[in-house]
Structure 1
Amino acid sequence: MTVLVTGGAGYIGSHVVRQLSEAGYTVVVYDNLSTGFADALVHGERLVVGELADSDRLDALFAEHGFKTVLHFAASIVAPESVTDPLKYYSNNTRNTLNLLTACVKHGVERFIFSSTAAVYGMPENGIAAEESPTVPINPYGTSKLMSEWMLRDVCAAHGMRSVALRYFNVAGADPQARMGQRTPEATHLIKVSSQAALGMREKVSIFGTDYATPDGTGIRDYIHIEDLASAHLAALAYLERGGETTRINVGYGKGASVREVIEMVRRVSGVHFPAEEAPRRPGDPAMLVAKADRARTVLGWTPHYDDLETIVADAWRWEAKLNKR
């Protein structure tokens, strides 16, 4: 079966594409390569370079392949940036998802897996988010994704398509064989930034906010290994192929690590005591965001295999060292 993966040359998309290919799917990737890389497609998947805003190009691609399954990753994802440039997020995330869904309806797509985010929850009570928790995003990034979820829900109800919206928590790490990983030039992911500091590529790591109501005063996040996140997409696809109904699923481990704990783990794994500097809070950052992640296991049958901060950091460090030939 041929599946379409938008944004499949990016960090998360490329890991999912690799796992899909290894599982026997034929994959077509549609990506504008603004943050993705063609050489991240390690199994020779077909790459079509294009914009989701190009409705004619999308229409021709769907007509050529007759896709019945679409996995949608293409998006802008930096929450602080969305606060200063909201229209970029409503354009690239919400409007372009509308364009993609329009093509899906026109060409009879049956299954749709959406790359959503825990940012749709905003600041949940006690910092723990369940799928039933109120969705009150505190930045345009979260709002743009929530609006896309709403469109997807309504399209499925109206046209018989079935979907899974996967709400990611903090994705980190890299392929354990170091074939691919996070490559965004101006990345804001803490583990990547810390690894770059350990390699001497950055002078220091900034700790944005040290006065949160957490044990060490720094923000707590639920870090999930990219390989486990990718496997959740294959579990979601298998669920839909079994006839599963439209749903939304958190993808996290259900436990958190603070900024200081992550920095100390990168120092330990790398053997480098790089400097960390305290800085003011960033706009749009909650104190704590951790998943209630039971549904992924019970509904999708998903089983994580890399649920360990040291493993996540070690794989990220190995990739970063390879990427920068250290």
Structure 2
Amino acid sequence: MKFLVTGGAGYVGSHVVISLLDAGHEVAIIDNLSTGHRAALPDDVHFFEVDLLDAQAINEVVSSENWDVVMHFAALSLVGESMRDPFYYLRQNYITALNLIEACTASGIKRFVFSSTAALFGGEGQPSLIPDDARIEANSPYGESKFLIERALVWADQMYGMRSASLRYFNAAGADPKGRLGEDHTPETHLIPLAIDTLLGLRKELKLFGNDYPTRDGTCVRDYIHVTDLADAHIRVIKQLDHRSVTYNLGNGIGFTNLEVIQSVERISDRKLPWTWADRRPGDPAVLVADSSRMRRETGWLPQFPSIDVIVETALRWREKNPYGYKTPYGKYIQMAAEPF
């Protein structure tokens, strides 16, 4: 099959791309490299360095081939940044997606897979295992932008017959088990890479927000899903689009506390990690874990890397071999934890 993937130079997008190539598919990538990395692009893909805000350029790319599936990962994804500049986030995420969706419907694309988010469930009072039909209560412009895109896709199906899969995943983590790709954000805000960078001396100290939550050790519980398992889910869901549009929550269904993540990093590395406590962050729910039972039941998807130790091990192995990420080393690379977890 022929796939067109936006954001294919980013973290999740690049892992989906190599999974598609491993399965024998043809892949082309759209990315403006604002947050993605050219070094993450495989040699055997067609790359369009295009900004999705450029509607004409997007129309030209989409209409250039008969794509079997379009996958959309390109987006800004920092919740805190979206709170500081809400209209920028809404414009960048929603308008770019709308340009892509409109181009796809104009070209007769019939299958579309969308990278959505658990940030749709940011309100209080959610169940401990969040199902696909849980109450939508996005408490950030980032989450709101993703929900607006989901609604646009509903209308694209009703009006133009383009079926879509909106995959709301929780905490993507880990790295390609073969060591080909890893996680490299600027700034980094995810707990596992922050902990690993602190362990490797790339950051001075890690901070954990809050130790008085109603959980088994007082720290927040989050659902970490290996990025390769996410990639598998994106491929498996395509068969569903032969019949209907779908929405699924994606996670392990297993929650790990912040403290358990730290303990895993120390256990896998056999080293002590320098970290301290910090006050709670406003709005952080105590528990966010996905109920992915419907995805498993309807597609046969089952995470192959559910262990937090395996997730951490793949992330640590990649970072040890790539201490500068995808960047060229320069001088002494020390980045203090400006965004502590």
Q: Where does residue 306 of structure 2 map in the other structure?
A: 307
Q: State the superposition RMSD in angstroms.
A: 1.5
Structure 1 runs of 4+ aligned residues shifted over 3 Å read: none
CA shift, 1:72, in A, is 0.2
Q: Where does residue 290 of structure 1 map in the other structure?
A: 289
Q: Where does residue 192 of structure 1 map in the other structure?
A: 193
CA distance in 2, matches of 1:80, 1:284: 11
1:138-157 matches, within 5 Å, as: 138-157=139-158
CA distance in 2, matches of 1:284, 1:5: 33
CA shift, 1:130, in A, is 0.3
1:212 aligns with 2:213: yes
Q: Where does residue 27 of structure 1 map in the other structure?
A: 27
Aligned-residue sequence identity (percent) comes to 42
User: Is the contact between residue 80 and residue 282 of structure 1 (CA under 8 Å) also seen in structure 2?
Assistant: no
Q: Secondary structure at the match of 2:127?
A: helix
CA shift, 1:88, in A, is 2.5
Q: Where does residue 55 of structure 1 map in the other structure?
A: 55
* Cα offsets for 1:117-171 (capped at 9, x unmatched): 1111123523321011101111111111111111111211111111110000101
CA distance in 2, matches of 1:228, 1:136: 26
Q: Secondary structure at the match of 1:273?
A: coil
CA distance in 2, matches of 1:323, 1:294: 36
CA distance in 1, matches of 2:243, 2:265: 40
1:80-119 matches, within 5 Å, as: 80-119=80-119
1:121 aligns with 2:126: no
1:173-188 matches, within 5 Å, as: 173-188=174-189
* Cα offsets for 1:238-293 (capped at 9, x unmatched): 332xx231010111011100111101111111222122121223344222100111
User: Is the contact between residue 122 and residue 286 of structure 1 (CA under 8 Å) also seen in structure 2?
Assistant: yes
CA distance in 2, matches of 1:145, 1:250: 14
CA distance in 2, matches of 1:12, 1:322: 19
* Cα offsets for 1:20-76 (capped at 9, x unmatched): 111121111000111111221235211111100001111111221132410000011
User: Is the contact between residue 157 and residue 163 of structure 2 (CA under 8 Å) also seen in structure 1?
Assistant: yes
Q: Calculate the TM-score normalised by the size of structure 1.
A: 0.96
* Cα offsets for 1:292-324 (capped at 9, x unmatched): 110111112212211111000000000110111
Aligned residues: 324
Q: Where does residue 316 of structure 2 map in the other structure?
A: 317
User: Is the contact between residue 130 and residue 250 of structure 1 (CA under 8 Å) also seen in structure 2?
Assistant: yes
1:2-81 matches, within 5 Å, as: 2-81=2-81
* Cα offsets for 1:199-224 (capped at 9, x unmatched): 00111111122222222221110000
Q: Secondary structure at the match of 1:215?
A: coil
Which stretch has the larger CA shift, 57-66 or 174-183?
57-66
Q: Calculate the TM-score normalised by the size of structure 2.
A: 0.91
CA distance in 1, matches of 2:281, 2:85: 15
User: Is the contact between residue 262 and residue 273 of structure 2 (CA under 8 Å) also seen in structure 1?
Assistant: no
Structure-2 change in CA distance of 1:88 and 1:271 (3 Å): farther
User: Is the contact between residue 178 and residue 319 of structure 1 (CA under 8 Å) also seen in structure 2?
Assistant: yes
CA distance in 2, matches of 1:219, 1:78: 19
Q: Secondary structure at the match of 1:222?
A: strand
